[in-house]
Homo-oligomer: A and B are copies of this chain.
Amino acid sequence: MVYSVIGTGGVGGYFGGCLARAGREVHFLLHKDYDFVRRHGLQVNSWKGDFHLDRVNAYDNSAAMPRSDVVIVALKSVNNPLLRELLPPLLKPGTLVLIIENGIGVEAQVQAMFPQALLAAGLAYAGSSKTRPGVIDHQDLGKLTVAPYTPGAALRAAEVVRDFVEAGIPADSAEYLEARWKKQVWNMPFNGMTVALNTSTAALIAHPATAALIRAQMLEVIAAAQALGVKNIDESYADRMLETTAGMTPYAPSMKVDHDLGRPMEIGSIYTEALRQAREAGCPMLRLEMLEAELRFIENQSSMPGNRPRPRIGNPHRA
């Protein structure tokens, strides 16, 4: 199988890098790092063991890339409109587009552009970011869940899971809605709250007021998911997520990293669309609606230079 990766950052670089190391044919689309990676290769610093790819199939233009069996899309969801131009050269009949992004509604968004494409969601449970040109810093976890979205994507999705497992990445399949909403249970509280309060997941859990708030927000997501037909989820999932988080090496959620680095936040996919669906299902998430409003305000203030104290770069607890 021929793999392509659109978006070679913390997520695309780590998962694509593992596949390449395992001998798979992987083609990487790069942007700012193209020259560096073409010359120096890709370095992956992982808690599971560092490795370096000397020769990388690197491109700065998707038109030059081969049609692929699997296209891993690991962009920030705010950049999905770019797929209209980036994706067509890579597609052939049967190509699986595996969308490893945060939030709700990203598959529907890509389907609207490419109604014929086979789509699957990829849920990355990994603390991984690109810290310097050509260097991926993989700090924690590393699991991938693949959830077929389009009817007919299941077979190819299973092959992908098998390839990932062979490449040393814990991977499994799951039902689409359940997979996407379970990830939201963690993403909706922690991504926004670390930005709103300019803090870390560990500090939020350490204070009783915010710990209770985070749990109440998780229960809002769980109630909405249930209203939207997600099975196999109940209140106990919130407690499991809180325990997992307490046991993690503290790291900044992606939205906190984005905000600290002055990049746009994924408010639309992590909040807006999820909140809309929940409200439509008669189960509005009031606290998370409030958090979205705070984030929209912060986003707007940050766009006015000098109007807000510059937050710390990165996470003070990062090892």
Interface residues of A (CB under 8 A from B): 196-199, 203-204, 207, 209-210, 212-213, 216, 286-287, 289-294, 296-298, 300-301, 308-312
Docked CA distance A289–B286 (Å): 11
Please name all residues of chain B whose beta carbon is closer than 8 Å to the beta carbon of A291 when the two chains form the complex: 290
Please name all residues of chain B whose beta carbon is closer than 8 Å to the beta carbon of A297 when the two chains form the complex: 197, 199, 203-204, 207, 209-210
Q: Is the CB of A293 within 8 A of B196?
A: no
Docked CA distance A294–B198 (Å): 11
Docked CA distance A312–B308 (Å): 9
Docked CA distance A209–B275 (Å): 14
Docked CA distance A207–B303 (Å): 13
Q: Is the CB of B301 within 8 A of A199?
A: yes
Q: Is the CB of A296 within 8 A of B199?
A: no
Which residue of B209, B292, B293 contacts A296 across the interface (Cβ within 8 Å)?
Answer: B209
Smallest CB–CB gap between A275 and chain B, Å? Answer: 12
With A287-B287, A290-B290, A309-B309 as contacts: A296 and B196 at CB distance below 8 Å: no
Docked CA distance A192–B21 (Å): 52
Smallest CB–CB gap between A289 and chain B, Å? Answer: 8
Question: 17 A-B residue contacts at CB 8 Å?
Answer: A196-B196, A196-B294, A197-B301, A199-B297, A204-B297, A207-B297, A209-B293, A209-B297, A210-B294, A212-B293, A213-B293, A213-B294, A287-B290, A290-B290, A290-B291, A309-B309, A309-B312
Docked CA distance A308–B290 (Å): 22
Q: Is the CB of A308 within 8 A of B212?
A: no
| Minimum CB distance partner of A295 in chain B | B209
Please name all residues of chain B whose beta carbon is closer than 8 Å to the beta carbon of A198 when the two chains form the complex: 308-309
Q: Is the CB of B294 within 8 A of A197?
A: yes
Docked CA distance A294–B204 (Å): 10
